[in-house]
A = this chain, B = another copy of it.
Amino acid sequence: MTVEIICVGTEILMGNIVNTNAAFLAEGCANLGLNCYYQTVVGDNEKRLTETLELAMSRSELILVSGGLGPTEDDLTKETAAKVCGLELREDPESRRVIEEFFKKRGKEPTKNNWKQALIPEGAKAISNPNGTAPGVLIELKNRSRDRSKNAHSGGNMTTRIILMPGPPNELIPMFQSSVAPYLQELSGQTFFSKMVKIVGIGESRAETMIGDLIDAQDNPTIATYAKTGEVHIRVTASGATQKEAKKICKPVVKEIKSRFGTYVYATDEKKTLEQALVEMLLKEKMTVACAESCTGGLLSARIINVPGVSDAYKTGFITYSNKAKRKLLGVKKTTLAKYGAVSARTAEEMVRGLAAVTKADVTLSVTGIAGPDGGSEEKPVGLVYIGCLVRGQLRVKEYRFSGSRQKIRESAVTEALVLARECILELFSQDEFGQQDDDAQD
């Protein structure tokens, strides 16, 4: 079933608010195996909303619409949808009762405008809204020919479904979850199963080259890559008659991708972050981590500490932005700072060794670099960062050259510090333990 999403609202169109409804509905459709091909945002304008609805009806079987169901004159989604479908509006007794109750409970009188919310296109179904006065609307148009020939992807007489939902997320989300999703689940014949293979240490184009043959040959499952800061995510999605079948189709491709990338893979669970994978490693081995940060200024610790339940692994951290702080708190030598500078492999090493001495943490990380925009030189340009990692006496110091804004350089440094910590811990233990996790264990 082909789906599209239409969000109605001038606030979205003017950029006053971010369209989180579209993302929520899109994810909901993806989870139900529905192919959503378009999202459109249009203002509270009858002409443009009519055109948008007509276009959607010419190319999609299901149209999810949010917004414009309020009581004001600006709100005209329901009126416009009814007109486009050639349906009259009729009062829905149950919706009227809900509005009456809503106002009675608050000791207020409804205005004339409020009764507008009880109107429903004839033949349509009202969808209850426990969090507001605007009911949702389900319109099923049977045997309707999609006659805008140019855009029609199917010439036949098929059912077109339009579902109108209120715009406020605290009304839309529960309505979708409790009423709309179960209805769609029943409609959709197929089910889908999807895995996300998450990789660090390899760029997107190299990653794609490494699985180019799989990408070229893709059919079911499909394969898509996504580049994130310092990471590549590969989504493998299979469809089948049952969850079990879809999962079975997905599995060998995920296994093949994992075997090609080896220990570069840190997770096959969509929701698992890099820092979470690192914290799980630490907790499993009962290890602790500590960070001493200069240019990242707390960002590395903050990312590790964003993992719930991190308290057994993370105890202490230092932000040593000044040279004096590096000397006083971590014991970096004055001569080292004078001879090599604060941004040097030697300073990163002394920071990480000093940190280990002070905190007794099993894994210590240090970051020192030039985040810019000023402070760079030809020899030490903006973007030069040294990251030190000491895991139970084993030292690694790496030099990096990042580009972009101050914020971007610092974020890249944080990701690479997490990657380095993971690499160093992996070196201590066998690869099998972490790199090649069993697929089923993470479902």
Contact = CB atoms under 8 A, between A and B. Distances in A.
Given A72-B225, A311-B321, A174 B23 contact: no
A432 interface: no
Contacts of A308: 372-374, 406
Contacts of A332: none
Contacts of A306: 297, 406-407, 410
B224 A403 contact: no
Nearest to A288: B322
Contact of A315 (B106, B296, B322): B322
A361 to B, nearest CB: 11
B39 A13 contact: yes
Interface stretch (A27-35, A88-96, A154-162, A248-256): A27-35
A206 interface: yes
A11 interface: yes
Interface residues of A, number: 105
Interface stretch (A43-51, A78-86, A258-266): A43-51
A17 interface: yes
B38 A15 contact: no
Given A305-B319, A316-B320, A319-B305, A23 B19 contact: yes
When all copies of this chain in the complex are counted, the total is: 2
A385 B30 CA distance: 37
B305 A317 contact: no
A199 interface: no
Contacts of A224: 10, 14, 16, 74
Interface string A131-143: 1100000000000
A77 interface: no
A230 interface: no
A29 B41 contact: no
Interface string A92-125: 0000000000100111100101100000000000
B317 A319 contact: yes
A40 interface: yes
Contacts of A325: 315-316
Contacts of A309: 374
Interface of A: 10-20, 22-30, 36-43, 45, 48, 51-52, 55, 70-74, 102, 105-108, 111, 113-114, 130-132, 151, 168, 170, 174, 203-206, 208-209, 215, 224-227, 291, 293, 295-302, 304-306, 308-311, 314-322, 324-325, 329, 372-374, 383, 401, 403-408, 410
11 contacts: A12-B22, A13-B36, A13-B38, A14-B224, A15-B22, A38-B41, A130-B404, A170-B408, A296-B305, A297-B314, A305-B321
Contact of A18 (B20, B74, B322, B408): B20
A92 to B, nearest CB: 19
A373 B310 CA distance: 12
Contacts of A52: 38
A114 to B, nearest CB: 6
B111 A205 contact: yes
Contacts of A204: 70-72
A307 B68 CA distance: 32
Contacts of A19: 18-19, 22-23, 39
B407 A170 contact: yes
Contact of A12 (B26, B151, B170, B215): B26
A39 B36 contact: no
Given A12-B26, A22-B19, A302 B311 contact: no
Given A40-B38, A299-B302, A11 B226 contact: yes
